[in-house]
Amino acid sequence: DGMGELLILGSADRTMAAFQLIDRCARQIKRAGDDRTLAQIRADVALDLLLGKDNCRRKVVVYLTVPATVLAGLSDQPGELNGYGPLTAQACRELADQHSTWQRVLTDPTDHTVLNVGRKRYPSAALAEHVRVRDKTCRFHGCHRPAATCEIDHTLAYDNGGQTCDDNLGMFCLQHHHAKHDNGWTVEQPTPGHFIWTSPLGRTYDMPPDDEPPPF
């Protein structure tokens, strides 16, 4: 009948990324008024991409949700590749060691709270809540404004390569948020919830997690 079939068998992360790219391009064509089925459009898109007609190409991201203890080698819980299903702990660790098209989503192994969404600019609702509960108050030295009234901010700025994760986020009231950005103060977070501020004159202020007593 003049038709052929092409089957690609590959690693789950790469095949999912390829399908997402094909599907996104196909849906774009469908929205533009093409009356073929999505399956028919996907087939043409896949061949166009392979043979060089890639003017609809755009970046896609595959999300891999994995407990933080798995990447640390402390457990063998499976991860979850969005749209595909579970991946073995070993497969997750292998993906973590390579530059790929997936976006890791690290979770707490006990309550599955999202701890890290890599280079996503804004934290998820679960991650933001985790940081608010952890910090309790504004993390500037001597400020006791409740975290619920504060703004969440990257310690190392996102635009400078900072990750959106629990050890690079903190709660700061509006005044001290601006002190960090506009008034010459700098801040480091050596461990989650532990902040060290440096004034424009070079004096440092140690702010341990809110449930620890301050140093004397």
Specify the long-range contacts of residues 105-111, CB closer than 8 Å, at least 24 apart. 105/63, 105/64, 105/65, 105/66, 106/66, 106/67, 106/68, 106/71, 106/165, 107/65, 107/66, 107/67, 107/68, 108/67, 108/68, 109/67, 109/68, 109/69, 109/70, 109/75, 109/77
Residue position matching structure tokens 């004034």 = 199
Q: Against a cut of 0.75, is the pTM above it?
A: no
For position 216, what pLDDT does the model report?
36
Q: State pLDDT tens for residues 97-115.
A: 654 555 566 666 666 666 5
Give the tens place of pLDDT for each residue, 111-158. Answer: 666 656 554 556 767 778 888 888 889 999 889 888 888 888 888 887
**Tens-digit pLDDT profile for residues 46-84:** 988 887 775 555 555 566 777 777 877 788 888 887 767
